[in-house]
Amino acid sequence: MAATGSTTAGESAFYVTTPIYYVNDAPHLGHAYTTVAGDVLTRWHRQRGEKVWYLTGTDEHGQKIMRTAEANGVTPQQWCDKLVEEAWKPLWSHLSIANDDFIRTTEPRHTKRVQEFVQDLYDKGEIYRGGYEGPYCVGCEEYKSPGDLLEGDLCPVHKRQVEWLKEENYFFRLSDYGPRLLEFYESNPDFIQPASARNEVLQFVRQGLQDLSISRSTFDWGIPIPWDPKHVIYVWIDALLNYATAVGYGSDQIKFDATWPANVHLVGKDILRFHAVIWPAMLMANGLPLPGRVFANGWLMVGGEKMSKSNLTGISPRQLTDHFGVDAYRYYFLRAIPFGQDGSFSWEDFSARYTSELANDFGNLASRVAAMVGKYFDGVLPEAGNSGTAPEAVASGPAEQAIADGLAESTARADTLIGDNLDFAGGIAAIFDFVKQVNGYLTEQAPWKVAKDESPEGRARLATILYTAAESLRAIAVLLNPVMPATCAKLWASLGAEPHLGPLADQRVADVARWGRLPAGAHVTKGEILFPRLNDPKS
RNA sequence: GGGGCGGUAGCUCAGCCGGUCAGAGCAUCGGACUCAUAAUCCGUGGGUCGUGGGUUCAAGUCCCACCCGCCCUACCA
């Protein structure tokens, strides 16, 4: 099959990454939030007909994992394997995440390239041997920055005296890159988003950068420095480089050229700086093209408190999907929280949106339309039109034209907001504006009243109304598919669309608003309720 | 300590460079309707716009102080 219109063989893929998550613990809502967002973004671009690559993965080195593994009586590798296979991958599968690859930093395809990369930087003089010294807390087993300490050089965590330690390690000449980074931010104003995040990074870089220590010799769970194996690479270069190694850096030049650089790196606020400062500097040092943008999403707040591993607030993704379902879960966080901002959420708010937006507005619309086509036309979608002769591609009358216009506008808005701006909340709202419009149309046209008129004119009018509603649902299914694929598949089936239009995922955003795609004769069936009413509010 | 952001109807939030800016959605209440998941559609509610000053003919919308919450201030993903 030929490439779709907008894609050519040599075109670079729309490449999106999530952070690689630290596998010390099981995934929580925050991880899922970022990963779902990336999934919706990439599904949207696939429906634009673009070549897409969506990467997620896990960060598996470091002292913490080493210690956790020890505490559990297994090797670090065993520990990582277990968590990845039993917790992380299953959750992504459960949440319908359609990632194209899953990279683990312990894989040879990664570790070998990382070694080549640092060797390269070393050969270029970008890395030098130096010493790090600072206040070290034995309890934390890590260095503190002087500003963190409490009165009397006490560790803020353990409230005990820190020790002044000195360690030899290797440094990356990050300090050289301040001016070039600022220049880059200047000429690429959208590189860091949202704007608030960008400002913080700018402020930070303007203060002047220090060189970055990139190795540790105090533990060995990591990638050895090739020229000095007593050292292992410390987090930054190891972790960040996954975005390159996963798409063939240093091993598969063709794939690399077809994918690199990333269009969007999704990150949490906590790791923004590494992605917006260290990462581009690393790439500059090695002469690689820089990514398109780094988008930092906010924290999920529960009752005004940040969700973190120390405060999971007792809610796991599974608990929510068990109650609300996977699609509603995917929908809720993106709809309720402006992407890039911190957002508070609650069980109550989730319930309210589920009922009002998903069940009442969307699910019920699908339900009432299918029911009426079944009742009045035996489930066979009738032909719309003026006196039965209007071309299918034209909406029949003023009321129908208003629907077609509304669809065109919602589609255009959603495409820009979701596909370009990563404004998922705004884009979903645009689609739901259309859902509401169709509900209003039905109330105004009152097909159940028209149905009592059995004259040919009456039948024709009824056909037009129901055709318009069903055709609207066809579009809604396509537009919402990136967000709620399982539900939209049900709707697609209910509309009997696939035999005529092909698989839902193959429907193009550019075609959504072209009126009259769903042909008369499609077999419309009631199908199951899209969003069943929730049981008890809690547990 | 320094820097940034936020505090607007019960809830979540819009309100750009000052003059219909006192709003939206949800919830509430009233009405219409019955195709549908007791759904839909229409209308409604009057909240000192954190506190106290100030500038101005005019201030959520600018200035100052203060109160409250959050974030950043480099090596924990």
Complex ipTM value = 0.91
Give backbone dihedrals phi and psi of A421, rounded to 5 degrees, phi first. -95, -10
Say whether pLDDT at A7 is over 70: no
The pLDDT score that the predictor gives to residue A310 is: 40
CA dist A395 to A146, A240, A375, A387, A398, Å? 69, 52, 23, 13, 8
Q: How confident is the model at residue A392 (pLDDT cuts 50, 70, 90)?
A: low
Check whether residue A64 has its CB closer than 7 Å to nucleic acid strand B: yes
Q: Are A304 and A275 in contact (CB under 8 A)?
A: no
Closest CA to A336 of A217, A427, A425: A425
The pLDDT score that the predictor gives to residue A145 is: 62
Q: How confident is the model at residue A235 (pLDDT cuts 50, 70, 90)?
A: confident
> Integer distance in angstroms from CA A452 to C1' B25?
36
Q: Are A438 and A365 in contact (CB under 8 A)?
A: yes
Across A454-485, b (16+ Cβ under 10 Å) vs e yields: eeeeebbbbbbbbbbbbbbbbbbbbbbbbbbb
Check whether residue A221 has its CB closer than 7 Å to nucleic acid strand B: no
> Which amino acid is present at A85?
E
Closest CA to A45 of A466, A452, A356, A482: A482
Residue A31 is a catalytic residue: yes
Check whether residue A425 has its CB closer than 7 Å to nucleic acid strand B: no
Residue A323 is a catalytic residue: no
CA A460 centroid distance within chain: 45
Q: What is the DSSP letter of A533?
A: P
Q: How confident is the model at residue A4 (pLDDT cuts 50, 70, 90)?
A: very low
Q: The tokens of A11 are what? A: 């075109």
Q: Model-level pTM?
A: 0.92
> Integer distance in angstroms from CA A436 to C1' B41?
10
Active-site pick, A306, A436, A500, A526: A306
Query: At a CB cut-off of 8 Å and minimum separation 6, what does A446 contact?
Result: none
> Integer distance in angstroms from CA A341 to C1' B62?
26
Residue A155 is a catalytic residue: yes
DSSP 3-state percent helix, strand, coil across chain A (nearest 5): 50, 15, 35
Q: How confident is the model at residue A405 (pLDDT cuts 50, 70, 90)?
A: very high
Strand order in the sheet with A224-225: A215-216, A228-233, A224-225
> Integer distance in angstroms from CA A106 to C1' B36?
54
Query: At a CB cut-off of 8 Å and minimum separation 6, what does A251 contact?
Result: A109, A113, A245
CA dist A420 to A139, A267, A412, A417, A487, Å? 46, 17, 11, 6, 24
Closest CA to A381 of A470, A295, A305: A470
